[in-house]
Amino acid sequence: MTVVALVPAAGLGTRLGLNVPKAFVTLLDRSLLERAVDGLFASGVVDDVVVMVPPDMIDRARELVPRARVVVGGAERTDSVRAGLAAAGDAELVLVHDAARPLTPAPMIERVVAALRGGASAVIPVLPVADTVKRVDADGIVEATVDRADLRAVQTPQGFTAGALRAAYAAAPGELATDDAGLVERAGGTVVTVPGDPLAMKITTAFDLRIAQVLAEETA
């Protein structure tokens, strides 16, 4: 079964606050985009990669990741994934993997694909939540302490049968979601979990980039 990975890389990186879209920020020797795409190919379980980038970064992306197909993303992440799906051709299995997770280890990518090959139609890598989590009201007053044992932090790549992902996106034409499995859940699909990895951390802020620099130096 052909595996295509879609790499959303069309965000602006507002919270990181540099003067270049986040996927094009360099971590040591390579951009986040190059690291994410190279990591997917290096896993050995991905046949093809489609990256979605801002319209003015198409040429740059083609230089950086010549093995990938490059398409224009959209205003929201959901729009970018939609654009990627339209370019996914007849892939049977689809991974969606944020460029913002450049240090994702190969075994984690393999676990997601193995669960799909084992019959799951939607798979997400997760980690336990270390902090105590509370729900608060609009004034910041605590309403409840959520049972941490039931919670998981969710990473990417998330994996889907092409049918399940296409159906979930078709069922929610105008909806936004922070992750793709959320749309599958809304469409009534079953989402299974596999162990994530702290190295698959998402770079959102300048602090995250500092941590990632240290980790990248260790593995350089």
If binding is defined by CB under 5 A, does position 21 make contact with Mg ion? Answer: no
If binding is defined by CB under 5 A, does position 13 make contact with Mg ion? Answer: no
Of 2 and 204, the one with the shorter C-beta distance to Mg ion is: 204
Of 112 and 120, the one with the shorter C-beta distance to ligand CTP is: 112
For residue 150, give the 3-state DSSP assignment. Answer: helix
Nearest in space to 53 (alpha carbons), one of 28, 83, 30? 83
- Give the residue nearest to ligand CTP (CB): 11
If binding is defined by CB under 5 A, does position 102 make contact with Mg ion? Answer: no
Give kind and range of the element (H or E) at residue 33. Answer: helix 32-42
Of 120 and 159, the one with the shorter C-beta distance to ligand CTP is: 159
Contact predicate 182/157, CB 8 Å: no
Q: Residue 83 contacts by C-beta under 8 Å, 6 or more apart in sequence?
A: 52, 71, 72, 73, 74
Q: Which does 133 bind (CB under 5 to 8 A by kind): ligand CTP, Mg ion, none?
A: none
Rg (CA), the chain: 17
> Which residues are near ligand CTP by CB under 6 A?
8-15, 22-23, 52, 73-77, 80, 98-100, 202, 204
Binding site for Mg ion (CB under 5 A): 11
